[in-house]
Chain A
């Protein structure tokens, strides 16, 4: 069973990511047995059916799909995954922050796709708390990426106050 990083620990993971094959459509794709991360389009097309079928569904957003489409529904999900088709595609950082800070989603936000050690710190700051590393990478080694910096200047999902509100007066180094 694949292993992921979840809240700074390595855990066995049981979620599958459903992607549509070329000949499948959101309306007709067979919904597998739980647990599964569904494409946003499937959720939007078959919301009632999914709610009836899964007690706690999971969904994944591609980098060009904003979390706006989940507004009002976020609390239904056990996992919302945000995809990084390439690690240089930074859109899902914004999606994660919006989920945490605007839509107040408190469940798991999982990074999927081209997820690599050297982006984990920024992902964590944006509110992502689970990381399904790219298959060829060792999650044990990647753990170090979560704690590269001990502080940060900006407010973000992990730290509501910018540095200037936390240590207003400091001696020079």
Chain B
């Protein structure tokens, strides 16, 4: 993975010193709370419901074992021994002390980590495929491009005070695992007609209050022009994005207002002034960055390990885990492993300090000392020998990291919600727990098969509910928690925004409603259909009808009517 050079380390050390000074001035009364706010946010520090929350950057999800150990130590020393992994592949600490945050950033800098631009109206952490470098369906490793973008976006002097946050994701595989079209800019690595590497560029995607999929703004951008082209997009956005209304400030609203053709024309006009300048990236720089992601010393192994095959046939629990948590690797004899952070009774994406140490040890023993965070809030060991899978499983199981539910209904993406987040309208963790309780039978989960269920506690959509087969959104009506359900969303190449099925439900109704939706699928499916396939074939109506069967919606309807009035007033 990428290792800092002197410049990287120096800049991060200087950032810590800058932040320490800002906090000192704040505590001395020289920097007001309002003046500090954007500064602390661009160092990951939020003030939440119960106090501060610190969001630590994990660039494109890559973690070295030493970094995991440091995170474990920090979470134990400065927090409550729990970290929460996010859909931007970052880690949040929910209970740090405000005054101790400079110390935490100092500790992070000692292992080439930071919390730079994990919040605020700036370019956020670059995200990518958690199987980068090992996926068989990948054109090339996306991580050198992510690193190039990390450096370009870090302390970019022109784009530190954008109208709103700005998210970029990179995919280089046949199957998009980074939800690139749900980003302000989505980059899809492709080969041009003459074999040159470059990007299909999508712009104006985003979830939140107005979910929109990114639109293609350029069919092919040679890779050397990546930075100047992005400078052009960001400059247009910085200058002309709306700043009068927080909810209309994302680039998607600008793209929508201009139309993609006109937006693209303006980008080309700006870019024509910037292209072929010094920001053009030479091949030598791509080579330098790629060297950081050189493949580890994979051994030459048979494609199938007989002992592993034998264990699968004799040990059903192991076989289930292999089926759901072990993924193909491009090198014979190797596999990628997802360590599920979706065990029953645990908030989705949460990991304890003890588990972090265990994952660091697993990475060191079995996966070249590296792990990755997936945007689905799990951890990945990318380079495990097939012959080691059973040992990995046993250790992972002893740490409750081997729940065999990856890609199933209980592998929920879930934001921290109203328990912790001050933006939330409703709690999400108890909903996740209730769904987990309702669907506690693994065999039934396997029978249901591939299905995504995501939960967001408010319209900001941190839980990606719009792109889930079943999405749950917390809404506040007269200080009561209600939940709106969408169905039919999906990630991947066929990314789709889900549709709302109707009036919201009480918290206690949600598990039954989910069960009703699943019943329709189980009754109607053909042998090979996933939930989403059946839904697309028979349409939303049968699901809707079943979800509301026997439920009195008069009260909900009335409340929603009232809310509409308030909004339109």
Tell me the A residues contacting B by CB distance below 8 Å.
66, 87-91, 93-94, 97, 102, 116, 118-119, 121-123, 125-126, 141, 144, 148-156, 160-165, 167-173
Pull 11 A–B residue pairs with CB atoms less than 8 Å apart, ordered by A. Answer: A87-B161, A89-B161, A91-B239, A93-B158, A94-B235, A119-B161, A126-B157, A155-B279, A162-B279, A165-B278, A167-B7
Beyond A93-B158, A153-B152, A169-B288, 18 extra complex contacts between A and B, CB < 8 Å: A87-B38, A89-B243, A90-B162, A93-B160, A93-B238, A94-B158, A118-B22, A126-B158, A149-B15, A149-B155, A151-B10, A151-B11, A152-B11, A152-B155, A153-B11, A153-B155, A172-B4, A172-B5
CA distance A84 to B187 in the complex (A): 32
- Is the beta-carbon distance between B35 and A121 smaller than 8 angstroms? no
How distant is A32 from chain B, measured CB to nearest CB, in Å?
Answer: 31
CA distance A50 to B74 in the complex (A): 62
Contact of A154 among B17, B156, B162, B239 (CB under 8 A): B156
Note all chain B residues with C-beta closer than 8 A to A161: 278
Tell me the B residues contacting A by CB distance below 8 Å.
3-11, 14-15, 17-18, 21-22, 30-31, 35, 38-39, 112, 121, 151-152, 154-162, 227, 235, 238-239, 243, 273, 277-279, 281-282, 284-285, 288
How distant is A130 from chain B, measured CB to nearest CB, in Å?
Answer: 17
> A156 with B281: in contact, given A94-B238, A151-B7 (CB under 8 Å)?
no
Chain A: CB-nearest residue to B38: A88
| A-B interface, 6 closest residue pairs, ranked by CB to CB distance from nearest | A90-B161, A125-B157, A173-B9, A122-B157, A170-B5, A153-B151
Contact of A149 among B14, B152, B235, B281 (CB under 8 A): B14
How distant is B227 from chain A, measured CB to nearest CB, in Å?
Answer: 8
> A121 with B278: in contact, given A87-B35, A163-B7, A173-B9 (CB under 8 Å)?
no
Note all chain B residues with C-beta closer than 8 A to A66: 239
Note all chain B residues with C-beta closer than 8 A to A94: 158, 235, 238-239
Contact of B4 among A122, A148, A173 (CB under 8 A): A173
Note all chain B residues with C-beta closer than 8 A to A172: 3-5
- Is the beta-carbon distance between A164 and B285 smaller than 8 angstroms? yes
Note all chain B residues with C-beta closer than 8 A to A154: 152, 155-157, 279
- Is the beta-carbon distance between B6 and A156 smaller than 8 angstroms? no
Main secondary structure on A side of the interface with B: loop
CA distance A9 to B566 in the complex (A): 54
- Is the beta-carbon distance between B14 and A148 smaller than 8 angstroms? yes
- Is the beta-carbon distance between B161 and A164 smaller than 8 angstroms? no
Note all chain B residues with C-beta closer than 8 A to A156: 157-158
Chain B: CB-nearest residue to A168: B284
- Is the beta-carbon distance between A90 and B238 smaller than 8 angstroms? yes
- Is the beta-carbon distance between B8 and A173 smaller than 8 angstroms? yes
Note all chain A residues with C-beta closer than 8 A to B239: 66, 91, 94
Note all chain B residues with C-beta closer than 8 A to A90: 121, 158-162, 238
How distant is B28 from chain A, measured CB to nearest CB, in Å?
Answer: 11
Of listed A94, A144, A167, residue having the most chain B CB within 10 A:
A94
CA distance A144 to B20 in the complex (A): 14
- Is the beta-carbon distance between B277 and A88 smaller than 8 angstroms? no
Note all chain A residues with C-beta closer than 8 A to B5: 167, 170-173
How distant is B206 from chain A, measured CB to nearest CB, in Å?
Answer: 19
- Is the beta-carbon distance between B160 and A164 smaller than 8 angstroms? no
Of listed A88, A148, A165, residue having the most chain B CB within 10 A:
A88
- Is the beta-carbon distance between B39 and A118 smaller than 8 angstroms? yes
- Is the beta-carbon distance between B158 and A155 smaller than 8 angstroms? no
Chain B: CB-nearest residue to A141: B30
Chain B: CB-nearest residue to A66: B239
How distant is B418 from chain A, measured CB to nearest CB, in Å?
Answer: 27
- Is the beta-carbon distance between A155 and B277 smaller than 8 angstroms? yes
CA distance A130 to B3 in the complex (A): 37
